[in-house]
Amino acid sequence: MTTYSSHIEPVIVGILQRGPREIVDLIEEVRKSRGSVTKQGVYQSLRKLKAEEKIVLHGRSASLNIQWLRKMSDFFSIAQYFYSPAHGNPDYVLHLREKEKVVFTFKTLVDLDVFASHAIHMFAAIIDAHEPIYAFNPHEIFSYGRSESEAILLKAMEEINKQVLLLATHSSPLDSELKKRFAGTNVQYHIEHNVPFDTGRYYFNVYGQYLLEVYLDSHVSKELETFFKNTGSFTKEAQEELSRIFATKGRHKIVISLNKKKADKYKTFFAKFFVIPKMH
């Protein structure tokens, strides 16, 4: 009986091309397609695909990573169709009821970013066309630590004419440098030192009435704080150090919820510093 084969991975991608799957159902579908394949073999292939950032594992289900789909947009155009919320088959987080939430944990910032990017694509597609995305990042860690991923994400937002309101709380050289980078783009970037909900390790995005809240591991958060404090420019050495921090094992958490009251409170706070597009 086959325990592992590289031939399993294309089968998994092909199945997930038609939408998210419960892992137990995915295993059965792989077995129907490939016959004598063990459960362990499928899990090994899933871990490899996850490490390659081609899929996202959340709870007991698996999805193709929308971020990866954008990189392979020509080849995977069919998959993008099936993963579009307008197609009626979105991930289950889009069906939350008011005050309901789901929690995800991640060992590294790389894992967290892969999942968060996937979720951001989904939420940006379902909110009102004129509704901006509200993002609170004390340090803009992903613009530096995951620059390629962040560039793809921001390009996707620009393509759908989505405004991004980005609020930071630090004026380190790296944070301040982003004012030049975002100038003239669809990203409004503001640094405000006096933010009552800033804990140093709390980040969030608001999409309509949805919240995506990030709680960084305390030890990793301290390393990030030291990095930004002591780094004057993003040299090759700085890039290597930040990559190390992003790969450091910890316990990071994402909480996704539908919470109109909390979302409105954050929007009201952002309105002090940004030009908010009028809703039609």
pLDDT tens, residue by residue, 38-72: 888 899 999 999 998 899 998 889 999 888 887 76
Q: 62: which strand partners?
A: 21, 57
SS3 190: strand
Lowest mean pLDDT among 29-38, 173-182, 184-193, 268-277: 29-38
| Structure confidence at residue 89 (pLDDT) | 44
Average pLDDT of the residues in 2-28: 81
Res 184: pLDDT: 87
CA angle, residues 56, 207, 46, in degrees to nearest 5: 0
Is pLDDT larger for residue 47 or for residue 80?
47
Mean pLDDT along residues 117-129: 85
At residue 280, the pLDDT reads 56
Report the pLDDT value the prediction gives residue 268, as an integer from 0 to 100.
95
* CA nearest neighbour of 76 among 94, 64, 63: 64
Position 38 scores a pLDDT of: 87
Beta bridge partners of 173: none
Chain centre distance of CA 34: 32
**DSSP annotation string for 105-134:** EESSHHHHHHHHHHHHHHHHHHS-TTPPEE
Of 71 and 263, more confident: 263
Q: Provide the 10 A C-beta neighbour count for residue 89.
A: 14
Per the prediction, the chain carries an average pLDDT of: 86
Q: How confident is the model at residue 83 (pLDDT cuts 50, 70, 90)?
A: low
pLDDT at 139 (0 to 100) = 95
